[in-house]
A and B are shown apart, each in its own frame.
Chain A
Amino acid sequence: MPTLWLVVSVLVLAATGYVLGRHRALQSAGGDIRTLHSLPIYYGLNVAFAALVPALGVLIIWLLAQPMIIESSVSGMIPGDAIPEDSTLGLVMSDVRRVASGLDIAVAQGAMTLEESNSLHAEGTDIRARLGEVGVALGSEVRAEVLQAAQRYRQMTTTGAHAMTVVVALLAVAGLAVAYARTHKDFRARNVVERGILVLLILAASLAILTTIGIVFSMLFETMNFFGLHSWKDFFFGGTWAPNFRGDSELSILPLLWGTLFISFIALLVAVPVGLFAAIYLAEYANNATRSFAKPLLEILAGIPTIVYGLFALLTIGPMLVDFFGKGGLLGVEWMAGATSVLTAGVVMGIMLIPFVSSLSDDIINAVPQAMRDGSLGLGATKSETVRQVVLPAALPGIVGAVLLAASRAIGETMIVVMGAGAIAKFSLNPLESMTTITTRIVSQLTGDTDFASPETLVAFALGLTLFVLTLGLNILALYIVRKYREQYE
């Protein structure tokens, strides 16, 4: 792994720079640190940073940009008529990459010399068989254009890696030399170092924005590709979800959205009453002992990983519901065919959301001023009347916000529905049938062997983007409501 070694050597260089810089500063002051502008450590850090930061920055940018440049240059080599009809440029490029990495492996294993791998001709040798010998399986015969492109790809990658090593090493050494030369007892090392640190802090803070941009763009591009292959009308307004790999899939989000909303609705039906009443009891009735006992215990439910809830749905709640509603069940009805159903997933998700609703509502109820309760009690209302007629109306916007946040969690929840909800996309009002959700379909379309040129795979990005927009909207709405409410009492 040459990149790792490059990083290590730059780090070693920086450490040396630290010692050198510190030493030179002390020397220029004649060993008396009182005549230095800054503490000696800053002179050392200045040299170390100068060696480290530009070199590593260029390294990261290079690593990000090189694949893109090589990709666009190599894909330009493939003529339009070399792309088979049932294929796309993306697929041909993945062939190119596979051949290139196959050649790499062959050279690494000694099955081919470097010159041989560069001078191979598709007409002369059976590339597929030769690569098969070293354990690289290729789907089809390697065509001349693909082989040429692969050779070019390898060549550019190697050249790029060499150039990167040289540039990064030079930058590190140059940075070290310049900073070392500038080190002098009157040099304002602390100010320079602190400015550098501030820039690094700003970069770290902007990573949050970068992540959001990454999320939006990564999904936006693939979604646009998807809408190029599949009509957006069918996606948003069609009625069926029926992917198949013959190419005439019907990919509509509506049945999935229905399943998602139905399951979330049932989850909220469980979580909101239980969570709300628990919060009211904890805030208004419970003594300190009960409160300090019950509240942390309820919050444990929020800390349990969703995979545990998924298994709980699949293996406990599902079979239990079948015992009641299934064939030969206690109720003597045959309403449920299997353990996976809307109800299974909804109930378990509801359990997961109880602490979410209860702790948020608890905070909000506690924020209602005591004077309002005192006023109501003083007029002769009972405690429950106070809660229902004074506290809850005052806390309502906050509680609505909490419920919206819970709803956004429910819509985005994955493992419980993957394991508990089933895989059938349909519009149905029967909670005992299995149904599928947006997140489940994202997982199933993107796991396994995926081909990033088919609408059946790309639809997952469109689904993801819809999910992102949906949850983001709910969150912003909830935060807006909560914030607006808070302003009334503070």
Chain B
Amino acid sequence: MTDISQGSAAKRPGSLLLQDARTVKRNRAESRFKIYGILAIAVGLLMLVTLVYNIVSRGTGAFTQTFITLEVTLAEDKLDKNGNRNLDEIKKVSTFGYAPLIKDAIGKEVEKLGIQTDLSAKDQAAILSKSAAAQLRDYVIANPDKIGETVQFRFLANSRVDGYMKGRVSRESIANDKSISPAQLDFVDQLVADGVIVKSFNLDFIFGADASDQRPEAAGIGVSMIGSLFMMLVVLALALPIGVAASIYLEEFAPKNWITDIIEVNISNLAAVPSIVFGILGLAVFINYMHLPMSAPLVGGLVLTLMTLPTIIISTRASLKAVPPSIRDAALGVGASKMQSVFHHVLPLAAPGILTGTIIGLAQALGETAPLLLIGMVGFIASNAPDSVASGLLSPNSAMPAQIYEWAKRADPAFYERAWGGIIILLIFLVTMNTVAVILRRRFERRW
């Protein structure tokens, strides 16, 4: 026996451990295939990393801003010629009337620090933001008693100076730029050395209002954040009750017939309708037909509600379905009506799942842009927080993603930085909402 087996083994063209050409080929194909899979995942993750890296590296700049600290003498002869502190007369001085004060202030600062420069006073003052005079005027109108005194101000620097401080603008890149010259950058360098120009955290970007094309340094996302908040309130107030009610009916009460079938097919199709179609619906129904005001958070909220409803209904139905029938049977068994068994027992048990689905739906709605463009949620709102909050649901407002889109459309690279910064804020909101949803699910989900 052993002889035979040894003999047949000897007849084999090679050892069992030696691979023939075909096996080698097949094994190579095998490892190639595996590598393709790894590569695909690597490509996907690489894209994610690139995206996140891009957002963070380009957007963090928006959170710091270059400020110039100056001591401005609020000259009485320029601001209040009659000296009677009459607010109406003070208000008659336009921002042009304040520009000389700033020029004087920067001239004095240069003198004090002993900086040598060939720049004219006008060019020196040009490193400040165009909003500086308005800032000064607002201060004087708010504190008329300070006229005649010398007050320290922190002005925004011009966006080019800000870009220079952040490394976005260099002496080479401004060769064709009329708004700033290399000499001004030298001047900036000197002021930086003396500590007059500093870069610090920019709270106004997070809480401020949008600014005009000329002043990217003053633009903030705060007002559109409030617009988004209003819309989310509308979505929450409408989509959650309607979505839960619809799911309860479909899951617990609906008879199996063709009407229910149509509703179900409808819901799953609505979930896949492109978002821009909801924008067209909003424009045609809410604005053209019902004459609701354009750019109003109420209209935006209504459109987003219709868009979010399918998401909420689908997740609510899933969590209602996850509640075991024994709960319903037990409730019915002790004499509860069908309605009582659902509202007193099934719904509370499904609540964590419903909440999770709602938060995810809201997060989706928060990032949606296309339908908002159609109903004009890109209102340019320059008023700051207290006014814009009070204006409520029916007055024009913007929304975070729409504001980001507006910034991306403006040609100035300083606005691109704002757009990336806005995305960081938007993503912080989305990540927080999704994390809360995941935590809620982990914490309260019951396995039956």
Contacts and interface: CB of A to CB of B under 8 A. Distances in A.
Which of B39, B277, B283 has most chain A Cβ within 10 Å?
A: B277
A211 B304 CA distance: 12
Interface residues of B, number: 87
Given A207-B242, A219-B284, A315-B416, A281 B274 contact: no
Contacts of A413: 274
Interface in B50-73: 50-51, 54-55, 58
B274 A412 contact: yes
Interface in B240-285: 241-243, 245-246, 248-250, 253-254, 262-263, 266-270, 272-281, 283-285
Nearest to A193: B339
Contact of A201 (B30, B45, B253, B274): B253
A434 interface: no
A208 B263 contact: yes
Contacts of B248: 201
Interface in B347-386: 363, 366-370, 373-374, 376, 378
A387 B309 contact: no
B373 A452 contact: no
A9 B408 CA distance: 46
A442 B274 CA distance: 12
Contact of A460 (B269, B280, B306, B338): B280
Interface string A287-308: 0000000100110110111111
Contacts of B306: 211
A287 to B, nearest CB: 13
B11 to A, nearest CB: 21
Given A208-B267, A307-B423, A412-B275, A447 B246 contact: no
Interface string B396-428: 000001001100100000001001100100110
A310 B50 CA distance: 14
A411 interface: yes
**Which secondary structure characterizes the binding site on chain B?**
helix
A371 interface: no
A208 B314 CA distance: 12
A209 interface: yes
Contacts of A222: 284
Given A298-B48, A305-B426, A274 B273 contact: no
B374 A447 contact: yes
Given A274-B40, A285-B34, A443-B373, A205 B263 contact: yes
Interface range for A: 35 or more
B272 A305 contact: no
Which of B242, B284, B368, B427 has most chain A Cβ within 10 Å?
A: B284
A464 B278 CA distance: 10
B43 interface: yes
Contact of A411 (B26, B47, B274): B274
A440 B211 CA distance: 26
A474 B30 CA distance: 35
Nearest to A206: B263
A221 B401 CA distance: 30
Contacts of A461: 280, 284
Interface stretch (B13-21, B185-193, B286-294): B286-294
A384 B291 CA distance: 61
A306 B266 contact: no
Contact of B30 (A315, A383, A460): A383
A193 B32 CA distance: 67
B280 A275 contact: no
Contact of A281 (B34, B254, B278, B394): B34
Nearest to B290: A67
Contacts of A315: 58, 408, 416, 419-420
A176 interface: no
Contacts of B27: 382
A314 interface: yes
Contacts of B246: 201, 204-205, 207-208
Contacts of B50: 316
A472 B54 contact: no
Nearest to B404: A307
B29 interface: yes
A351 interface: yes
A197 interface: yes
A135 to B, nearest CB: 15
A401 to B, nearest CB: 12
B33 A384 contact: yes
B180 interface: no
B408 A384 contact: no
A461 B288 CA distance: 13
Given A212-B270, A311-B423, A412-B276, A447 B44 contact: no
A468 interface: yes
B337 interface: yes
B222 interface: no
A452 B284 CA distance: 10
A412 B378 CA distance: 21
B1 to A, nearest CB: 27
A19 B309 CA distance: 34
Interface string A12-51: 0000000000000000000000000000000000000000
Contacts of B159: none
Contacts of B290: 63-64, 67
B377 to A, nearest CB: 11
A200 interface: yes
Contacts of B270: 208, 211-212
A219 B273 CA distance: 14
A354 B47 contact: yes
A385 interface: yes
Interface of B: 26-27, 29-30, 32-34, 36-41, 43-45, 47-48, 50-51, 54-55, 58, 241-243, 245-246, 248-250, 253-254, 262-263, 266-270, 272-281, 283-285, 288-291, 306, 309-310, 313, 337-339, 363, 366-370, 373-374, 376, 378, 394, 401, 404-405, 408, 416, 419-420, 423, 426-427, 430, 434
A-B pairs, top 10 by smallest CB distance, nearest first, are A412-B274, A305-B367, A281-B37, A277-B40, A218-B284, A204-B245, A384-B33, A414-B370, A201-B249, A205-B246
13 contacts: A201-B253, A205-B246, A282-B37, A294-B45, A301-B44, A305-B368, A306-B367, A310-B405, A409-B272, A419-B405, A439-B370, A464-B276, A471-B274
Given A204-B245, A305-B366, 13 more contacts: A68-B289, A212-B270, A301-B51, A304-B427, A305-B367, A305-B401, A311-B423, A315-B408, A316-B50, A418-B373, A439-B274, A443-B370, A468-B277
